[in-house]
Amino acid sequence: MRRLRPPEILDLFDRQVGAAPFARADALIDLCYPDGEARDMAPGTRNLQLMRIREAHLGRRIFCLSACAACGERMELTVDTMDFGDVPVADHVTVEHQGRALRFRLPSARDVEAAARTRAPLLQLMASLAVDLPDDVSCADPMLIDKVSQALDAADPLGCIIIETACPACGAVSRPVLDPAALVWREFAALARRLEDEVHALARAYGWSEPEILALPDQRRRRYVERVTA
Q: Give the domain ranges of the chain.
A: 6-64+177-226, 92-155
Determine how many CB atoms are found less than 10 A away from the CB of residue 3.
9
- Give the pLDDT band (50/70/90) at residue 36: confident
Q: What share of the chain is helix, strand, coil (3-state, %, to 5)?
A: 50, 15, 30
Report pTM: 0.87
- Residue 90 reports pLDDT greater than 80: no
pLDDT number for residue 18: 87
* Residue 192 pLDDT greater than 90, yes or no: yes
What's the residue count for the chain?
230
Q: Is 203 helix (H, G, I), strand (E, B) or coil?
A: helix
In whole angstroms, what separates CA 112 from the centre of its chain?
A: 15
Residue 218 banded pLDDT, cuts 50, 70, 90: very high
Q: Find the radius of gyration of the CA atoms of the chain.
A: 22
The rounded percent of the chain whose pLDDT value lies above 70 is 99
| Confidence band, pLDDT 50/70/90 cuts, at residue 133 | very high
